[in-house]
């Protein structure tokens, strides 16, 4: 179901929804970038062409998830679990690549093993997407099986159209918040919208071919050369919509699940002092292989949605797409 | 100009004067620069030099200890090499400094927010007060043939520090809490810093854990302040931490505040003289002591 609405009607509807829901969406912080934040005034929402620095992942997998607390007081429960989040919330402005990232994360945290925090966060969230009109030069979603106009993992999606938006409602959750808003899309308008979707797909310039398998390249010197410039920081993993490695941390009698990243020197450091990934070569190769080899073997898809964040924000411009594209498969 | 650079790199590699040249190449987007590592003559063709070469390559020197390295360095990068020499992290004889006269690099951050259109005027803020286009130390110098205009503008380099100093303690706390609240603890500020070479960073220690690893007010504040304090008398303001920070924390403002204090208290500026002892490793009877009461 698709409706056409004006920007003002959309903002008014969101303002109305603020009474009953927590609403999260992109906000522009001058000279800092676009950040997902809780929205207090619907007018603060940024629904323009630029992309958020952090992906929406942090609202499903928290950077520091508080799991339980140890109690040493007499008579108290020795382990106090944190209540699971339950209140309904709406996340607006989620890009198609990020939403598809959630679909990929479902394969890990909502499958054979169910992560209670993740699944509760998934259940309580209504995801309103925002189709991309102007992809960044680092975007390559179409090479990863996605598209700036796809709606996987969303409850509704917005397409900017003139002064307003076309709202495509995908699920009942989406219907509950956006149903009966605006006017039905006409035949001509629908035709134009279909053309617009094709145009959006074609706007992406960066294209790569991810190989079927990287298996034969494991020992190649290529990985050593490709990783020479890597600084071993956490930008690429923390800003990735699908990287999900974590570390368990004890702090002030709390057990926390914190983000961790394979680029860090101590990511696989053992208590004995041994580190099976002692150099950047092993660590960077792991990042690439997890995304384009191991995950694909297990789940049939690349663990990459082509959002371009790791390329855009890498302090030394390491381009994972370029590196995968040029991997020496013939070796 | 870049041709001279390529020829020099070829010459150094051919003569086995160096094992590796660390320089700049064009990034995959065809516009920006990226660090590159040349170990055979044939690859020297990749080398470039222009205003996109923002990186301070001296951060890579610790990766190649024991090797003879040729490194392309701007005036600010050379200052960090000087500090590394002062702190015995490098051997001068292992290093061939290919100095480049620098008219200032572009402002990547501002480029990001201006629809990515490069304009000649978009020089990084850190470059504005820089008086020395010519590195203080080099073995060979690539001269800018074209007149690039005056680099140093009439610009108070402590302008933003003074503005912060004018705020009350409570206002300052609120300001920095707000800025640090966005910190994602990716440690890019540490990893990109040539001065951050501790084999085991205080932030990575687990026993004892000196401050929370979890994101949050406490841990974020502790990390960012610890990082800055550790650079007292050592930071040469290459600005790489601020450039690398994905969430836009004005890290240079903290660094500059400490730089200003060090200058006022000890009349010391980092990165000027490789022969001089590092500020924090020496004691002088004239050092101010009025904080002892």
A32 contacts B248? CB cut-off 8 A? yes
pLDDT band at B112 (very low <50, low <70, confident <90, very high): low
Neighbours of B275 (CB within 10 A): 7
Q: What is the dihedral of CA A270, A275, A276, A278, to 10 degrees?
A: 160
Concatenate the DSSP letters of all residues of B117-152 into one string.
---TT-B-GGGTT---SS-SS-SEEE---S------
SS (H, E, C) A174-234: HHHHHCCCCEECCHHHHHHHHHHHHHHHHCCCCCCCCCCCCHHHCCCCHHHHHCCCCCCCC
Angstrom distance (rounded) from CA B221 to CA B216: 8
pTM of the model: 0.94
What pLDDT is stored for residue B150 in this prediction?
47
Phi/psi of residue A250, nearest 5 degrees? -105, 125
B29 chain-A contacts, CB cut-off 8 A = 137-138, 317, 319
Q: What is the ipTM of this complex?
A: 0.93
What pLDDT is stored for residue A331 in this prediction?
52
Q: Which of helix, strand or coil describes residue B76? A: helix
Bond from prior residue into B208 cis (ω within 30 degrees of 0): yes
Write the residue in A53, A233, A234 that is nearest to B247 by C-beta: A53
Which H or E run contains B54? none
Shortest alpha-carbon distance between residue A125 and chain B (Å): 23
Mean pLDDT, chain B, as a whole number? 90
B247 touches chain A (CB under 8 A): yes
- The percent of chain B in helix, strand and coil, each rounded to the nearest 5, is 40, 10, 50
A228 contacts B248? CB cut-off 8 A? no
Q: Please determine, for residue B114, whether its predicted confidence score (pLDDT) is greater than 50.
A: no
Per-residue pLDDT of chain A (331 residues; tens, 9 = 90+): 889 999 999 999 999 999 999 999 999 998 899 999 999 999 999 999 999 999 999 999 999 998 998 888 888 888 888 888 888 999 999 999 999 999 999 999 999 999 999 999 999 999 999 999 999 999 999 999 999 999 999 999 999 998 899 999 999 999 999 887 878 888 888 999 999 999 999 999 999 999 999 999 999 999 999 999 999 999 999 999 999 999 999 888 889 999 999 999 999 999 899 999 999 999 999 999 999 999 999 999 999 999 999 999 999 999 999 999 999 987 5
Pair type for strands B33-38 and B69-73: unpaired
What pLDDT is stored for residue A80 in this prediction?
86
Residue A182 or residue B202, greater confidence: B202
Which H or E run contains A48? none
A180 touches chain B (CB under 8 A): no
> Best mutation site among A36, A207, A225, A231 for testing chain B: the one with the most B CBs within 10 Å?
A231
What are the Cα distances from residue B185, in Å, to A255, A282, A292, B181, B252?
18, 22, 26, 10, 17
pLDDT band at B115 (very low <50, low <70, confident <90, very high): very low
CA angle B6, B7, B11 (to 5 degrees): 120
B243 touches chain A (CB under 8 A): yes
**Which residue of chain A is at minimal alpha-carbon distance from B250?**
A32
B240 chain-A contacts, CB cut-off 8 A = 315
Which H or E run contains B7? helix B2-14
Q: Which of helix, strand or coil describes residue A16? A: helix
Q: Which of helix, strand or coil describes residue A248? A: strand
Angstrom distance (rounded) from CA B56 to CA B44: 19
B188 chain-A contacts, CB cut-off 8 A = 231, 233-235, 315
> Best mutation site among B178, B187, B202, B222 for testing chain A: the one with the most A CBs within 10 Å?
B187
Write the DSSP symbol of residue B215. S
> Best mutation site among B24, B29, B199 for testing chain A: the one with the most A CBs within 10 Å?
B29
Q: Which residues contact A255 (CB under 8 A, 6 or more apart)?
A: A66, A67, A68, A69, A70, A248, A249
A195 touches chain B (CB under 8 A): no
What pLDDT is stored for residue A52 in this prediction?
96
Tally A–B CB contacts below 8 A: 112
Measured over the CA atoms of residue A51, residue A146, residue B32 and residue A224, the dihedral's sign is positive
Q: Which of helix, strand or coil describes residue A254? A: strand
Q: Quick one: which of A169, A151, A32 has its CA closest to A100? A: A151
Q: Please determine, for residue B120, whether its predicted confidence score (pLDDT) is greater than 70.
A: no
Angstrom distance (rounded) from CA B44 to CA B21: 9
Least confident of A219-233, B111-125, B131-145, B220-234: B111-125
B192 contacts A235? CB cut-off 8 A? no
């Amino acid at each position: 179901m698709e409706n056409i609405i004006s920007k003002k009607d959309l903002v008014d509807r969101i303002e109305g929804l603020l009474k009953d829901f927590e609403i999260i969406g992109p906000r522009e912080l001058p000279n800092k970038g676009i950040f997902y934040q809780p929205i207090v005034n619907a007018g603060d929402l940024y629904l323009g062409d630029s992309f958020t620095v952090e992906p929406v992942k942090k609202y499903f997998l928290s950077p520091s998830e508080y799991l339980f607390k140890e109690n040493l007081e007499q008579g108290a429960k020795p382990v106090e679990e944190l209540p699971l989040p339950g209140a309904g919330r709406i996340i607006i402005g989620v890009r198609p690549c990020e939403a598809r990232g959630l679909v990929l994360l479902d394969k890990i945290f909502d499958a054979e093993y169910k992560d209670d925090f993740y699944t509760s966060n998934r259940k309580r969230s209504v995801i309103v997407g925002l189709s991309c009109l102007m992809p960044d030069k680092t975007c390559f979603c179409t090479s990863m099986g996605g598209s700036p106009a796809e709606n996987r993992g969303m409850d509704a999606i917005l397409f900017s159209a003139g002064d307003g938006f076309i709202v495509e409602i995908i699920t009942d959750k989406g219907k509950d918040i956006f149903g009966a808003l605006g006017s039905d899309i006409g035949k001509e308008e629908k035709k134009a919208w279909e053309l617009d979707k094709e145009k959006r797909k074609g706007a992406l310039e960066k294209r790569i071919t991810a190989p079927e398998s990287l298996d034969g390249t494991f020992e190649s010197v290529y990985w050593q050369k490709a990783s020479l410039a890597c600084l071993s920081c956490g930008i690429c993993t923390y800003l990735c919509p699908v990287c999900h490695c974590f570390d368990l941390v004890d702090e002030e009698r709390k057990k926390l699940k914190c983000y961790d990243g394979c680029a860090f020197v101590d990511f696989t450091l053992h208590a004995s002092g041994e580190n099976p990934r002692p150099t950047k070569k092993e660590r960077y190769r792991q990042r690439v292989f997890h995304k384009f080899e191991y995950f694909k073997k297990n789940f049939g898809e690349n663990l990459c949605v082509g959002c371009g964040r790791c390329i855009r924000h890498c302090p030394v411009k390491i381009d994972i797409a370029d590196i995968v594209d040029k991997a020496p498969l013939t070796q | 100009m870049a041709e001279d650079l390529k020829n020099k790199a070829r010459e150094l590699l051919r003569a086995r004067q160096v094992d590796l040249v660390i320089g700049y190449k064009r990034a995959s987007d065809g516009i920006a620069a990226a660090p590159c590592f040349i170990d055979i003559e044939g690859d020297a063709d990749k080398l470039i030099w222009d205003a996109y070469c923002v990186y301070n390559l001296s951060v890579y020197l610790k990766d190649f200890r024991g090797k003879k390295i040729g490194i392309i360095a701007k005036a600010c990068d050379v200052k960090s090499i000087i500090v590394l020499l002062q702190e015995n992290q490098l051997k001068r004889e292992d290093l061939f400094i290919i100095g480049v006269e620098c008219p200032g690099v572009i402002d990547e951050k501002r480029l990001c927010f201006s629809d990515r259109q490069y304009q000649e005027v978009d020089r990084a803020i850190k470059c504005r007060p820089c008086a020395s286009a010519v590195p203080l130390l080099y073995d060979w110098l690539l001269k800018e043939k074209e007149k690039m205009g005056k680099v140093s503008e009439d610009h108070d380099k402590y302008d933003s520090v003074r503005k912060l100093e004018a705020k009350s303690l409570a206002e300052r706390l609120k300001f920095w809490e707000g800025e640090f609240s966005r910190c994602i603890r990716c440690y890019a500020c540490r990893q990109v810093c040539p001065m951050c070479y501790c084999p085991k960073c205080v932030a990575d220690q687990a026993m004892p854990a000196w401050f929370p690893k979890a994101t949050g007010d406490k841990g974020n504040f502790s990390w960012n302040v610890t990082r800055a304090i550790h650079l007292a008398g050592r930071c040469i303001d290459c600005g790489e931490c601020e450039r690398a920070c994905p969430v836009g924390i004005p890290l240079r403002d903290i660094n500059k505040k400490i730089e200003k204090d060090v200058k006022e208290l000890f009349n010391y500026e980092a990165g000027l003289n490789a022969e001089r002892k590092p500020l924090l490793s020496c004691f002088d009877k004239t050092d101010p002591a009025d904080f002892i009461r």
